[in-house]
Amino acid sequence: MNDDLAIEYITQLKGLGVWSAQMFLMFTLNRPDIFPATDLAMQKGYQAFFKLRELPKPGEMIKKSKLWIPYRTTVSLYLWAVLEGPFEW
Which residues are identified as catalytic?
39
How big is the chain by its Cα radius of gyration, in Å?
14
Distance CA 46, CA 61 (A): 8
User: Considering only CA atoms, which of 36, 23, 30 is closest in space to residue 62?
Assistant: 36
Distance CA 26, CA 32 (A): 7
